[in-house]
Amino acid sequence: MAENDNMTQGVIPDELLDLRASIDNLDAAIIQMLAERFKLTRKVGHLKAETTLPPSDPAREARQVERMRRLATEAGLEPEFAEKFLAFVIAEVIRHHEAIAESRAAGS
């Protein structure tokens, strides 16, 4: 990685290489936690499809938004970012739930 950096744009300071290595570690951890999160929301999707529970729960989502805004503020992030992040993830969850519903409809 360091050699590539040096080839592509001159000498990269060690401090920058060190920061990038930590960013890469965090990205790997975040992707793995997101994978686990989607595993759980897939289970939620199947559970809701098997029962009479509605696919969306606005009260639950409102609580999630408030909690994420609070957690972001405590962690030194802008609450708006946490809200955008949650919306980004929930959009993906809805895409998964629609795929589950479609595959059930196709199989029935």
- Chain positions contacting a copy of itself, by CB under 8 A: 1, 4-5, 8-9, 12-13, 15-16, 19-20, 22-24, 26-41, 43-44, 47-48, 51, 53-54, 57, 59-60, 63-64, 67-68, 71-72, 75-77, 81-82, 84-86, 88, 92
Cβ 98 to a copy of itself shortest distance, Å:
14
Which of 46/104 has CB closer to a copy of itself?
A: 46
Cβ distance to a copy of itself smaller for residue 75 or 105: 75
Q: Least CB distance from residue 87 to a copy of itself, whole Å?
A: 10
Other beta carbons less than 10 A from residue 107's beta carbon: 6
Sign of CA dihedral 51, 55, 57, 61: positive
Compute the distance between CA of residue 22 and CA of residue 102 in angstroms, rounded to an integer.
40
d(CA 21, CA 5): 12
Q: Is 1 helix (H, G, I), strand (E, B) or coil?
A: coil
Q: Is 72 helix (H, G, I), strand (E, B) or coil?
A: helix
Shortest gap between Cβ of 74 and a copy of itself (angstroms)?
A: 9
